[in-house]
A and B are shown apart, each in its own frame.
Chain A
Amino acid sequence: MSLQTESQSQEPLDLIRFQLDETVLVKLRGAREMKGKLQGYDSHCNMVISEAEEYIYEVNGNSEPVVKKTEMVFVRGDSVILISPIN
């Protein structure tokens, strides 16, 4: 039985665990993206990101985004749309 559970595909959140200490791109509600090093997360997708850059995209199609830098930020999970690793 224990062998069976080990070979089951891991859950999506389990695989985010592998992104700890790696750079991720997080797409957020409100046309925002946050890129930085993932320091912590939980099952709500609350996250702490270090050396972060926030990109805020304006409504007027495809103009340059506003970039804001933070050394350490907590992001509340309910704003998160998706999380993607960056190499």
Chain B
Amino acid sequence: MLFFSFFKTLVDQEVTVELKNDIEIKGTLKSVDQFLNLKLDNISCANESKYPHLKSVKNLFIRGSTVRYVHMNANSVDCTLLQDASRREAMVQAQTSK
């Protein structure tokens, strides 16, 4: 649930999603779910419109499993908060698996 909460803090921010098929999509993150599926608004293809079939698309849904990276602004992220949350999540995971 950690990264679900993390992405919720990024809603309404601009992100660039790089998919496993090398398509890069820049857009405003509107929505995320527990599978880390994403909805982006007002998108533009970041790599020189090498893949023009998305030219007319404004908003889209991305299945979480197809994502390789999500790039974001460093200022959007509270690093100490994220580190602390990871430590707690790791402890919880270890305890639930034992």
Give the interface of A toward B (CB within 8 A).
11, 13-14, 16-17, 20-21, 30, 39-43, 46, 48, 50, 70-76, 78-79
Contacts and interface: CB of A to CB of B under 8 A. Distances in A.
Q: Is the interface of B mostly helix, strand, loop or mixed?
A: helix
Contacts of A42: 2-3, 86, 89-90, 93
Nearest to A42: B2
B68 A40 contact: no
Interface size bucket, B side?
20 to 34
Contact of B74 (A14, A21, A41, A50): A50
A40 B85 contact: yes
B71 A73 contact: yes
A39 B78 CA distance: 9
